């Protein structure tokens, strides 16, 4: 070890406790070591990754979250294959907190041949790093048999925001057998700046899974795709209130005058959150045609709805003052 360990009494004492017979003493020593937050202490933590007790190895993995050295990352990658589930999860969580884009170089070689758990963890870490070199491995992972791997691969691609990934995402959004993968793909399409993704989002609005429909409505509003107003008006009658709420919000963002009548009708819906969103959407649209329904809703039993109604009336009045 470096002389820093020999000269610092605190480190010397912690190092002695890392050799203690009692595993709990060793674990607490790692906690104290991580609080010191100096890269020169990483070798002591890495040494603890080989501890015979799983709880100590897990603590060492968590301790490495405070650092981002090449040696520490290599140790965490190795722990993704540990026999103990808690240790594997601790390593995955620490990798997920990596912030240095250059760290992606250390992760990428392990992706192709990793098992399911490790591949999910590596892709999740790569998503946050946003390294362009992770584009091809993520595209390849879209064909993985495991839905969790495909979902994380979509996350990587969505963060990279590269136009060449759109065909793969649209295919996944339409045809993947797993609803969460389809939902992730729909969400990843939100980076597109043109209406080329409109057909995929409209298809998502008819998906059998309500979570996918909800995401599609959200993305249509985010992208402000005006051609979607008819489909979003229809979505105001979706069987799930979550979809109806997102559709109302999207129509407000689109400022779709065509939706005023449908949104005004939603002011009488039994779910207060939807009434609130309908009022807010009408305020954003700014059409005086909404005023009769809004005035009638001023006596709503929910104070949040009443507040939104007052705001909408004020917005419409200001727009036409």
pLDDT in tens, 231-244: 999 999 999 999 99
- Tokens 């090449």 identify what position? 70
Are the C-beta atoms of residues 258 and 232 closer than 8 Å to each other? no
> Which two structure tokens, joined as six digits, stand for 233?
């008006």
pLDDT in tens, 262-310: 999 999 999 999 999 999 999 999 999 999 999 999 999 999 999 999 9
Nearest alpha carbon to residue 205 among 196, 221, 258: 221
CATH entry 3.40.50.970 includes domain 257-321: no
- State the average pLDDT over residues 189-199: 85
**Residue 1: its pLDDT value, please?**
42
- State the average pLDDT over residues 174-185: 97
Domain 1-97 fold is 1.25.10
Compute the Cα dihedral for 12, 13, 16, 17 and give only its sign. negative
> Which two structure tokens, joined as six digits, stand for 252?
């407000």
pLDDT confidence of 197, banded at 50, 70, 90?
A: very high
* Domain ranges within the chain, ordered by starting residue: 1-97, 257-321
- State the average pLDDT over residues 176-188: 97
Same fold flag, 1-97 and 257-321: yes
Angstrom distance (rounded) from CA 244 to CA 251: 11
**Residue 66: its pLDDT value, please?**
82
């Amino acid at each position: 070890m470096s002389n820093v360990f020999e000269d610092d009494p605190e480190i010397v004492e912690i190092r002695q406790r890392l050799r203690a017979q009692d595993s709990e003493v060793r674990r607490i020593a790692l906690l104290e070591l991580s609080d010191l937050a100096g890269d020169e202490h990483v070798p002591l933590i890495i040494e603890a990754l080989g501890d015979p007790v799983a709880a100590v190895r897990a603590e060492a993995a968590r301790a490495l979250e405070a650092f981002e050295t090449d040696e520490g990352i290599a140790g965490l990658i190795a722990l993704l294959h540990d026999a103990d589930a808690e240790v594997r999860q601790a390593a995955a969580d620490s990798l997920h907190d990596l912030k240095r884009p250059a760290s992606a170089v250390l992760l990428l070689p392990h992706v192709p041949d990793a098992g399911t758990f490790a591949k999910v963890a590596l892709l999740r870490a790569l998503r946050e790093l946003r390294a362009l070199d992770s584009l091809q491995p993520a595209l390849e992972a879209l064909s993985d048999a495991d839905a969790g791997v495909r979902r994380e691969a979509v996350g990587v691609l969505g963060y990279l925001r590269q136009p060449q990934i759109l065909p793969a995402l649209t295919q996944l959004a339409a045809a993947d057998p797993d609803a969460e993968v389809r939902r992730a793909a729909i969400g990843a399409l939100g980076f597109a700046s043109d209406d080329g993704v409109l057909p995929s989002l409209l298809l998502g609005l008819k998906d059998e899974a309500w979570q996918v429909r909800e995401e599609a409505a959200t993305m249509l509003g985010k992208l402000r795709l005006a051609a979607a107003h008819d489909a979003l008006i229809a979505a105001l009658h979706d069987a799930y209130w979550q979809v109806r709420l997102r559709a109302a919000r999207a129509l407000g963002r689109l400022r779709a005058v065509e939706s005023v009548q449908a949104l005004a009708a939603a002011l009488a819906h039994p779910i207060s959150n939807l009434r609130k969103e309908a009022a807010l959407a009408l305020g954003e649209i700014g059409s005086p045609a909404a005023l009769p329904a809004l005035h009638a809703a001023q006596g709503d039993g929910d104070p949040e709805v009443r507040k939104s109604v007052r705001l909408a009336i004020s917005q419409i009045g200001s727009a036409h003052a």
